[in-house]
Amino acid sequence: MKKFIEKFNSHTKDEFLYIKLKDIVCNVNGQTIEILFIYPEQFEMQVSISKEKIENAVKKILNSELEITVNLIKSHFDKEYFIKEFLEFLDDFPSIKAQISKSDIDICEKQKKVTVSVESAIFSHCLSKNITSSIQQFLCRSYCEQINFAFTEKDCDTTIILDDVPVVTTLERDGGRIIPFVGGDVLIGKEVKPPATYISDIHLKTGEVTICGRVLSIDVVVYRKNDKDNKFYKLSIEDFTAKIGVLYFPFHKNPQSLGMLKRDDEIAIFGTIGPDKTNPQTPVMIAKYVARAKLPKEFLVNRRIRTVDTAYRTIKPKPFIEKAQNSIFDAVIKKDVCRELQEGTFVVFDIETTGLDPKLEKIVEIGAVKIKNGIFTETFSSLINPQRPIPPEATAVHGITNEDVKEKPTIDLVLPDFYKFVKDSTLVAHNLPFDIGFLELIGEKMGIYFDNEKLDTLTLARKTLAHLKKFNLPYLTKLFSITHESKHRAVDDAVAAAQLLKILLEKSVN
């Protein structure tokens, strides 16, 4: 079908790019071929005028003795028509169709948005069997418009969304991702001219490139070849974004000026990127020219920022529902709630992980509660599929098993929604460096940066309650009679830390 539409566009010189091929129906017994095209409603006049031209193009492409008919169908998103077509499509999935009624299908014609609510078992089945892929093909064949389709789990906050929103990143500032160093004395070869490429942007196919940075280490490696002692220089260079290994193999015409370099010297290098022989997946630079350089002071990395839309696509926040009757926070602001909480917006969050090292381990749960003007307003909660087994020792801490997360969304789907939830809020956690370390490391790879104001209740507790010997969350919540039901589960830890935050802020003011 793809080749057919390509040939059709070629024959018609791309005049009808807005037309889509819905189906080709061959009837061998009846000796007929039916071509079904769909086109956007706004092109109805053009299609009507060009119908004969379209039919002739199809007949030339097929070049068949069979009777060929061309049907041109106007694509129009209509609520009743969509439900009829969708339920017919589900005939191929009888176990799902039996569980879906018209009342489960919610349609917004203006926004061309469809949401189908299903029970948990069907929701999991759709996820595990990748039914969404078939539905996406159905939508593509049936409509020219972009239809936003989602399965939602009844009485749950999880959603499977089919509309494939492209990941768009833009540079934070004009000027590209370069470092405008000032060139200095030549050490090897010729002058190295600015600007330099970020080391973090270098990969195995980069080719020739200029970098600059600080010397972290420099070693002379001596080896024996042809009964002679030979040597090469091995450097480690770090710029504002990353570090890279550099090799220089001297020739007899080159001055041995690299021996003058020492740690923390600033240099610029022009050379070629290639694979490291000991680790072929790691790029190294083979230096050609080396010169001293002066790096820009107070340099800011020009980050690639991901454009995150305003709609929650995988995890939606839920209104906060008070569980504990003796909660420190009431439904309305009390006079004893400190000014900081009354006038600001805070998101107190917690994560559960497969281990302690953010470079090696994965997040399995995010939980958060939002405090706006002194009142708990919303919670954000999601188990996360780490796409690797959860170690037994981690499960022993938080109780989350592989079975719990196997059909849950991955972090790349959850983190954009969490970013929306915390936007314009102060981020708070107990032992913040641990939790934020995971989020920042993952977020940076996705172009999501948590530049929020930040507050650590652990640091605040050590400062405010210096007389204590323990500062962990279970101890402090017990000390202040804060209800903390499910320790080491993200939302409950976040709510407990939020209640602790109020106490600590009031004590720090008094």
DSSP output for 314-383: SB--EE-----TT-SS-SS--TTS-HHHHHSEEEEEEEEESSS-TTT--EEEEEEEEEETTEEEEEEEEE
Which residue range(s) make up the domain with 147? Answer: 79-161
Residues 69 and 193 in one domain: no
- Look at residue 279 and tell me if it is in a domain: yes
Q: Pick from 108, 136, 161: which residue ends a domain? A: 161
> Do 195 and 104 share a domain, yes or no?
no
Q: Would you say residue 168 lies in a domain?
A: no
Output the pLDDT for position 181: 96
Structural domains of the chain, count: 4
Question: Where among 57, 75, 93 does a domain terminate?
Answer: 75
Both 381 and 502 in a single domain?
A: yes
Query: Looking at 154-264, which runs of residues are DSSP E strands?
Result: 159-161, 169-171, 178-179, 182-188, 196-197, 208-225, 228-238, 243-248
Residue 301 lies in a domain: no
Of residues 284 and 170, which shows the higher confidence score?
284
Residue 247 maps to a domain? yes
Assess whether pLDDT exceeds 70 at residue 298. Answer: yes
Q: With bands split at pLDDT 50, 70 and 90, how would you rate the model's confidence at 9?
A: confident
SS3 228: strand
Judged against a pLDDT cut of 50, whether residue 419 lies above it is answered with: yes
Residues 71 and 87 in one domain: no
Q: Share the mean pLDDT of the chain.
A: 85
- Taking 60 as the threshold, does the pLDDT of residue 372 lie above it? yes
Query: Which of 23-37, 274-288, 488-502 has maximum average pLDDT?
Result: 274-288
pLDDT of residue 424: 92
497 and 447 in one domain? yes
Q: How many CB atoms lie within 10 A of CB 402?
A: 13
Q: Identify whether the C-beta of residue 296 lies closer than 8 Å to the C-beta of residue 212.
A: no
**Is residue 93 located within the same domain as residue 157?**
yes
More confident residue, 335 or 32: 32
**Residue 444 belongs to some domain of the structure:** yes
3-state secondary structure 67-95: EEEEEEEEECCCHHHHHHHHHHHHHHCHH
Per-residue confidence band for 330, with pLDDT thresholds at 50, 70 and 90: very low
**Does residue 173 lie within any of the structural domains?**
no
430 is catalytic: no
Whether residue 69 is found in the same domain as residue 85 = no
In whole angstroms, give the CA distance from residue 211 to residue 219: 19
Do 358 and 422 sit in the same domain of this protein? yes
Final residue in a domain of this structure, among 75, 97, 132: 75
Q: Are residues 492 and 440 in the same domain?
A: yes
Q: Does the pLDDT value for residue 226 go beyond 80?
A: no
Whole-angstrom Cα distance, residue 35 to residue 69? 6
Q: Cα(109)–Cα(111) distance, rounded to whole angstroms? A: 6
Cα–Cα nearest to 180, from 12, 297, 259: 297
Pairwise pLDDT comparison (296 vs 249), residue with the higher score: 296
Instruction: Report the alpha-carbon distance of residue 116 to residue 106 in Å, rounded.
Output: 6
Pairing of strands 426-429, 454-456: parallel
Strand partners, 428: 348, 455
- 379 with 316, same domain: the answer is yes
Q: What is the mean pLDDT of residues 217-234?
A: 85
Q: Tens digits of per-residue pLDDT, 355-364?
A: 999 999 999 9
Q: Which residue has the higher pLDDT, 200 or 6?
A: 200
The string of pLDDT tens digits covering residues 425-451 is: 999 999 999 999 999 999 998 899 999
Residue 334, pLDDT score: 44
Answer yes or no: do 184 and 119 share one domain. Answer: no
| Model pLDDT, residue 116 | 87
User: Cβ of 20: how many Cβ atoms within 10 Å?
Assistant: 20
**Residue 100 placed within a domain:** yes
Q: Which helix (H) or strand (E) holds 491?
A: helix 490-509
Q: In terms of DSSP bridges, do strands 113-118 and 208-225 run parallel, antiparallel, or are they unpaired?
A: unpaired
- DSSP three-state, residue 446: helix
Question: Looking at residue 450, which CATH number applies to its domain?
Answer: 3.30.420.10
In the sheet that holds 426-429, the strands lie side by side as 318-319, 375-383, 363-372, 345-353, 426-429, 454-456
What CATH number has the domain bearing residue 235? 2.40.50.140
Asked if residue 169 is part of any domain, the answer here is no
The amino acid present at 305, given as its one-letter code, is I
Are 372 and 409 within one domain? yes
Q: Which of 20-29, 165-174, 320-329, 425-434 has the lowest mean pLDDT?
A: 320-329
The whole-angstrom separation of Cα 179 and Cα 195 is 5
Q: Please, what is the angle between helix 432-446 and helix 411-422, to 10°? A: 110
